[in-house]
Chain A
Amino acid sequence: MKRFALIEHTADTGLVAYGQTLAEAFANAAYGMFAIIADIGTVKEVERRTVELGEEDSESLLFEWLNRLLYFFDVETLIFRRFEITGFDEYHLRASCYGEKYDPSRHHIKIGVKSATYHMLEVDKKKNRVRVIFDV
């Protein structure tokens, strides 16, 4: 099953992510975001960070989830490649994220993502599909 597809947007870039479950679509959205940022094939799973979120609705949950991962990238230069969602409902998400610190000698960085946005943001609970546009 395809994990995500890129969406073209003039100023920015976005993605649609799929899953067997909504939790999996959230994980695939995060995977897709890091695939936009870097060539994650060369990223090893040496660091783990846990994320625990509670939001007012599932759209804000997706927004916060992706932006929290960008926070780790800025503060610790962590590039994640695998996301294990250990708890999930419409308003809450708990996950373990695996990756490693950016190493310019081994990792190829593509473009920067400033933030996920609410523009065209969609969480489709029936189709287990999410859509997000990034400010890049």
Chain B
Amino acid sequence: MTKWHGSLEKVDEYRWRIPRSYKAGMRVDGLIYASQSMLESITGEQAPEQVANVAFLPGIVGYSLAMPDIHWGYGFAIGGVAATRVRDGVVSPGGVGFDINCGVRLLRTNLTGEDVLPKIKPLVDALYEAVPSGLGSKGKIRLRPGEIDEVLAKGSRWAVEHGYGRSEDLASTEEYGEMAGADPASVSVRAKERGVPQLGTLGSGNHFLEVALVDHIIEPEVAGTMGINKIGQVMLLIHCGSRGLGYQTADDYIKQMMAAMKRYQIEVPDRQLACAPVESPEGQAYLAAMRCSANYAWANRQAIMHWVREAFCRVLGRCEADAGLELIYDVAHNIAKIEEHEVAGRREMLCVHRKGATRAFPPGHPDVPERYARVGQPVLIPGDMGRVSYVLVGTELAMKETFGSTCHGAGRVKSRTAAKRMLKGSDVLKSLEARGITVRAGSLPGLAEEASEAYKDVTEVVGVAQSTGISRIVARTRPIGVIKG
């Protein structure tokens, strides 16, 4: 790994600036949110260079931002936020990533560890059976020819209309699980072919299902609004995205934009930053297809949640109402959104790219569901599978500083290869079980790649988000059961 030798100026304890003088072509400064102790791993690789490269994008405003979970990605750093003006700026598929609308949803329950721990093994087995996971797995959903277009247009609503979950779930999903402006005609036949068999599958890699217990409540009143009421309460976490449909959509449009860049005479320092003006035909087509992929991901998580509820109730012998399996919220952390923000004292329409970053809107924002209007938008930050996860809320300061964005997870510190060399899947399994975590995984080497040791400590990451004020910590959960693809 090559160390980064660029210049980083300390703004305050948690803010580090890459001045635009660092590299000719940067249109704005870069700004990294991190503690002093996190800087070593951040500058130990080329992530700051990627933050600087993103600052080249035409129409970028404010800063090229990096959230505290920043790590080296491809093109954009993971943990990157970039806002470009709609009227004269660009949209970049690389600023969203291949797994469009990879995201997280969190369910509460009325049950506690005492109810669930005696049945944790059968529960984890039942969840593993109920939700197709791992490579090459086929979904249980059979679509009629052409029905994929309805999934792409309606997202979660398609799932609810087909018996996967309840209509009240929609109000607890970012964009209500149905992003407007999704045009199925903008999605290629190949992308649809990849999407059809994979609807309702978890996938592999860092995607997971988790059974967790609340182990710390920092803001009881806010937590109470979300139905997080007591220590030991059982929570369920689902992390996955848009599967092959999203990957193919990203491939298709990155390639198209590569050609379009020549026409629009745009130059960027990394081809993976390929982009086109937001208002160009290429930009609009990408956004329409990206929204379809986002809707597919929401339908996917909605269907998976339905099977999770069924399996949970079956194993615990409770009906759904009695188990209190309510969706707290669902967030997207790989997405681009057209949003209105204040730039230099003026309201401006922006294309906000969040690549491994979560929207974190404050109390009272019109896009925050009514039930959270007083507390702000819930932000879900999964840690690695051996440690803890957090629930946060968005803040006014995030609106002012980060275009209403915050971190999305722990952030890797070790490559997958390094993790596998250091650890054996079977040892990782044993050490998790020694910590009271029951695991079912499709692949043991895959498990080693996702071991705690490969990640930053998520507590440090959310600590920076809290200290800088770009979000507030509400509650913490600890896993007792993990299902990995």
Contacts and interface: CB of A to CB of B under 8 A. Distances in A.
28 contacts: A8-B415, A9-B415, A11-B71, A13-B417, A56-B258, A60-B255, A63-B251, A67-B251, A70-B244, A70-B247, A71-B193, A75-B197, A75-B244, A102-B136, A109-B136, A111-B443, A112-B204, A112-B205, A114-B205, A117-B74, A118-B94, A118-B258, A118-B271, A118-B274, A119-B271, A120-B74, A135-B97, A136-B205
A117 B1 CA distance: 19
A119 B274 CA distance: 10
A56 B263 CA distance: 14
Contacts of A127: none
Interface string A77-104: 1000000000000000000000000101
A115 B251 contact: yes
Nearest to B421: A8
Nearest to A38: B135
Contacts of A74: 193-194, 197-198, 243-244, 248
A35 interface: no
B258 A10 contact: no
Contacts of B205: 111-112, 114, 136
Interface string A4-31: 0010111111000000000000000000
A117 B194 contact: no
Nearest to B258: A60
Interface in B175-203: 190, 193-194, 197-198, 203
A18 B444 CA distance: 30
Nearest to A14: B74
B32 to A, nearest CB: 16
B75 A117 contact: yes
B449 A111 contact: yes
A119 B412 CA distance: 18
A71 B258 contact: no
B445 A115 contact: no
Enumerate the 7 nearest inter-chain pairs by beta-carbon distance, A residue then B residue, closest first: A119-B74, A118-B271, A74-B244, A112-B204, A119-B272, A102-B136, A117-B74
A71 B189 CA distance: 11
Contacts of B445: 110-111
Interface of A: 6, 8-13, 37, 55-56, 59-60, 63-64, 67, 70-71, 73-75, 77, 102, 104, 109-112, 114-115, 117-121, 133, 135-136
Contacts of B198: 74
Nearest to A59: B271
A11 to B, nearest CB: 5
B443 A135 contact: no
Interface residues of B, number: 51
Contact of B259 (A56, A115, A133): A56
B415 A109 contact: no
A10 B419 CA distance: 10
B368 interface: no
B240 to A, nearest CB: 12
A64 B251 CA distance: 8
B75 A115 contact: no
A114 B99 contact: yes
Contact of B416 (A77, A119, A133, A136): A136
| Best-buried of B74, B203, B272, B274 by chain A (most CB within 10 Å) | B74
A9 B247 CA distance: 19
A54 B244 CA distance: 22
Contacts of A109: 134-136, 442-443
| Best-buried of B73, B99, B197, B413 by chain A (most CB within 10 Å) | B73
A68 to B, nearest CB: 8
Contacts of A6: 417
Nearest to A13: B416
A63 B193 contact: no
Contact of A119 (B45, B71, B270, B443): B270
Given A10-B413, A117-B272, A112 B203 contact: yes
Contacts of B243: 74
A11 B73 contact: yes
A8 B443 contact: no
A108 to B, nearest CB: 8
B200 to A, nearest CB: 15
Interface string B250-266: 11001100110000000
